[in-house]
Structure formats: C-alpha cells, structure tokens
C-alpha cells in the first residue's frame, strides 16, 4: 500500500505538467470538501468495491476531501440524475456509461471536459464514444464495456464456436445445469445478435431507427428459440444469470468485461473467455456494443468541488490506478500508457476479451438512442413471454422508437 501511494504521488506530481490539471499542492490546500459520486458499478462483479477503494485511497492521500459513493442501476442513475438536477441537488460526479451523454447534453446537465484534461492521453476510440457536437462529455475510465461469451471449464471443455454448436448443447449437460444464461430483460444483450444477422438499430445517418427489419425478426426468433428449446432458463435478469453461473448451474454466460475479475476469482483456472458464437445462418460474428465507463461532470460542479473532482479523475486514471483496476477486475484500461503493460499482453482472459472487442461496434451516443432502448425493451419481453410474434414486436419497436424520437425534438 505504501509503495502504491508513493507511485500515485509521483504520477500526480508529473501529471499536471503533462495534462494541465490540478497539482497535488492545490488539492492538499483545499478546505474541507465533501463530494458525492454516483456510480453504475454494482457489487456482484466487485466493481463497486473497487470504486469505493479508489475513493478511500484518494481521501487517505487528501484527508480534507471526502467522497461518498452511491450505487445506482444504470437506468435509475439516468432518471435520478435528471430529477436531482432539475431540483438543484445533483451529485458532484458521475461514473456511468457513454450513451447517457446524449440525454444529459440535450438537457444541459453535464459540462464538456475538453479544457479540463488532455484527452490525447486516452484511447482514441474511447474518447470518441463521448463526443457530441464537437465537444467531449466524459473522461474514459475503461475501454471496452462489451459483452462476450464466458464458460466454466468444469462443465464444458470447449466453448461453442457457432449457434449450431450452441444449440447442440441442449440435453448434453448434467441435470439442473443450463447450457447458457444471459440477461433476458435488457436489449443490450439483444444487440450482438442483431449485428450477427447483419442488422443495426440506426440507418447510415446514425439517427433514423431501423428496428422493423428481417434482421430484427431473425434476432427475436433466435432468442425465443433459445428459451423454447431449453438452452436458457425460462427467465433471468442480471442477478439471476450471475448467480447461476457462479454456482455452477450454467456452463456458459454472456456478460461484459466488467465481470471478468469476479468470475476469475470465483472459478479460478476453470474460467474461460471466448467470442459470442458465430451466427450459423449468416456466417457473421455477433457485434456487441463497445464503449467503456466514463466520468461525467455535472454543470453544477464548480469552484473547489470542481477542483477536487478534477483531482480525483486525474488520480483514478493515472497509470498505477489503471493497472490496479486491471489487477483487481481484469478490465481493459482507457489510459494509453497502461495498455502496454505485460499484465495485458500476456493475459489470456484479456487477450480473448480484446478478440471479442474487435468485432464489436461503437455504441451510439446520440439522444435518439434513448428512445431506441425504451422501444426495444418491452417488445423483447413480449416475444420471450409469447405475448407477441417477432414480426409484431419488430413493427411495434419501430413505431415506438419513431414516436419516442419525435417527443425528444
């Protein structure tokens, strides 16, 4: 711990000259400053624990600065932040996903970070994921944030490479063990398969929804077949799938890079990572959305609080802390200088995670994406419950997205 603190102090002392940020002396000279940070990171994969560790260590270095960490589900964070901002009581800092930049900038709730940090120090694709209207609205913490296939080597020696191989697992595993689990409640888990059927949620202009398509119908049909044929449980949300996999009741799980550390700790050498199986009908790899986690700064964060927030962001994205995150969570850092570390280049889990990321697609940050998510979610549920056909659900998705986008204008 002492060695890490020394490395951090050196990194913080050098950073201002490189990044034109606040100096350690400035941070140490602040009067008592209490910050509140909302984060989308949860406990299940050890992410929230890491965020709290960061906050505690920063306060240990700068005792006059305290950071209260508040966990909120991604959607709850978005809604609560908008409500709190309108009430004049927003948090001082957000740790969230890139697609929230759209609604937050439209409502003028966050401030650009271009003049606060030299963003060339971060992975270009990660920075570009939060660019809107010529400005950058977040500082990247992680790089990827993509879904992939993960497996328990005690239950399956070799992960399926295609959807045909995936379905062939039905009936081949011990009683009470599902071949696959995923979060059936969120369309984020639908998107990779849509890409595998050569579809996308937007047209070439990046704003016109394209949900009522043969690709969407095929995607919804595939997900319904997974349920009907017993490949996946009848129902599962995030917590349910996570528990089933950790308890050895599922051989495969589709989850994000944020969960690598938790599953590695739970399964040890029995944990493996691979690409989501190729769609046999098209010969195309599923394309999960890629982005990362980001710091976003509310417009109401000013003065000494802004100085402290900038210092914390600087601290959290120094090379030592990015590598500490890598060690604890097996998640790719967003700081360029950290990506050359041997812990990444020689790590099989991270290598396979990166292999999945290269066939992914950047998550749209446009405001219209919010309407698309809201349109897809209930229709996905309707198909899986048998209440609607894939064809009817795809048409309803499109209508709801178009209507939702009009309300945003």
DSSP per-residue letters across 181-213: E--TT-GGGTHHHHHHTT--SB-TTSSSB--SS
Query: Is the same domain home to 388 and 404?
Result: yes
CA–CA dist 181, 193 (Å, integer): 15
Query: Is the same domain home to 132 and 169?
Result: no
Residue 276 included in any domain: yes
Q: What is the per-residue pLDDT across 337-384, written as a single tens digit (0 to 9) for each?
A: 998 888 888 888 888 998 898 899 988 888 899 899 999 999 999 999
CA–CA dist 166, 278 (Å, integer): 10
Q: What is the per-residue pLDDT across 76-100, written as a single tens digit (0 to 9) for each?
A: 999 999 999 999 999 999 999 998 9
Query: Is the same domain home to 14 and 61?
Result: yes
pTM over 0.85: no
Query: Is the same domain home to 161 and 256?
Result: yes
If you average pLDDT over every residue of the chain, what do you get? Answer: 92
Q: Which of 3-7, 100-104, 246-250 has the lowest mean pLDDT?
A: 3-7
Number of domains in the chain: 2
Q: Please state the rounded mean pLDDT for residues 209-238.
A: 98
pLDDT band for position 44 (cuts 50, 70, 90): confident
Query: Is the same domain home to 298 and 223?
Result: no
Residue 224 included in any domain: yes
Residue 211 included in any domain: yes
Query: Is the same domain home to 205 and 304?
Result: no
State the pLDDT at residue 8: 53
Residue 278 included in any domain: yes
Q: Please state the rounded mean pLDDT for residues 244-259.
A: 96
State the pLDDT at residue 5: 52
User: In this structure, what token pair is assigned to residue 141?
Assistant: 């913490």
- Range of the structural domain that residue 187 is part of: 147-287+367-408
- CATH code for the domain in which residue 328 is found: 3.40.190.10
Q: What are phi and psi of 237, to 5 degrees?
A: -100, -165
Residue 399 included in any domain: yes
365/61: higher pLDDT:
61
State the pLDDT at residue 20: 59
Query: Is the same domain home to 161 and 267?
Result: yes
Query: Is the same domain home to 36 and 62?
Result: yes
Q: What is the per-residue pLDDT across 9-20, written as a single tens digit (0 to 9) for each?
A: 544 544 444 445
Residue 33 included in any domain: yes
Q: Which of 202-216, 229-243, 346-360 has the lowest mean pLDDT?
A: 346-360
The pairing of beta strand 131-132 with beta strand 135-136:
antiparallel
Query: Is the same domain home to 248 and 397?
Result: yes
Query: Is the same domain home to 262 and 383?
Result: yes
Q: Are 60 and 333 in contact (CB under 8 A)?
A: no
Residue 362 included in any domain: no
Query: Is the same domain home to 193 and 178?
Result: yes
Q: Which of 68-77, 119-128, 174-183, 244-253 has the lowest mean pLDDT?
A: 119-128
Query: Is the same domain home to 30 and 94?
Result: yes
Residue 226 included in any domain: yes
133/393: higher pLDDT:
393
CA–CA dist 309, 165 (Å, integer): 49
Residue ending a domain, choose from 332, 357, 382:
357
State the pLDDT at residue 381: 98
**What's the DSSP call for residue 387?**
S
């Amino acid at each position: 711990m002492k060695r890490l603190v020394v490395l951090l102090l050196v990194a913080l002392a050098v950073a201002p000259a490189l990044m034109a940020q606040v100096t350690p002396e400035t941070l140490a000279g602040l009067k008592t400053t209490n910050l509140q940070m909302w984060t989308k990171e949860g406990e299940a994969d050890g992410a929230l624990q890491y965020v709290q560790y960061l906050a505690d260590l920063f306060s240990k270095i700068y005792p006059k600065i305290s950071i209260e960490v508040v966990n909120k589900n991604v959607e709850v964070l978005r809604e609560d932040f908008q409500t709190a901002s309108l009430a004049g009581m927003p948090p001082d800092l957000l740790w969230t996903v890139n697609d929230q930049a759209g609604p937050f900038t439209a409502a003028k709730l966050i401030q650009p970070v271009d003049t606060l940090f030299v963003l060339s120090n971060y992975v270009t694709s990660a920075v570009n994921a939060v660019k809107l209207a010529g400005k950058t609205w977040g500082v990247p913490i992680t790089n990827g944030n993509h879904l992939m296939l993960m497996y328990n080597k005690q239950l399956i020696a070799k992960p399926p490479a295609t959807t045909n191989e995936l379905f062939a697992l039905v009936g081949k595993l011990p009683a009470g063990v599902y071949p696959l689990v995923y979060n059936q409640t969120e369309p984020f888990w639908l998107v990779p398969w849509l890409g595998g059927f050569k579809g996308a949620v937007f047209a070439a202009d990046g704003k016109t929804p394209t949900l009522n398509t043969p690709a969407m119908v095929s995607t919804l049909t595939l997900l319904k077949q997974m349920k009907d044929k017993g490949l996946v449980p009848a129902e599962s949300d995030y917590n349910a799938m996570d528990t089933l996999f950790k308890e050895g009741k599922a051989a495969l799980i589709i989850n994000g890079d944020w969960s690598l550390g938790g599953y590695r700790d739970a399964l040890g050498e029995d944990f493996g990572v691979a690409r989501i199986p190729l769609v046999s009908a098209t010969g195309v790899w599923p394309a999960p959305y890629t982005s990362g986690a980001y710091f976003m700064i509310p417009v109401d964060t000013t003065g000494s609080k802004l100085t402290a927030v900038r210092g914390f962001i600087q601290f959290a994205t120094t090379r030592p802390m990015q590598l500490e995150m890598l060690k604890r969570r097996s998640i790719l850092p967003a700081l360029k200088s950290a990506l050359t570390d041997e812990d990444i280049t020689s790590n099989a889990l991270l290598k396979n995670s990166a292999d999945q990321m290269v066939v992914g697609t950047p998550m749209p940050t446009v405001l219209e994406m919010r309407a698309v998510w809201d349109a897809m979610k209930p229709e996905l549920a309707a198909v899986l419950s048998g209440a609607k056909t894939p064809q009817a659900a795809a048409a309803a998705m499109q209508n709801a997205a178009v209507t939702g986008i009009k309300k945003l204008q």
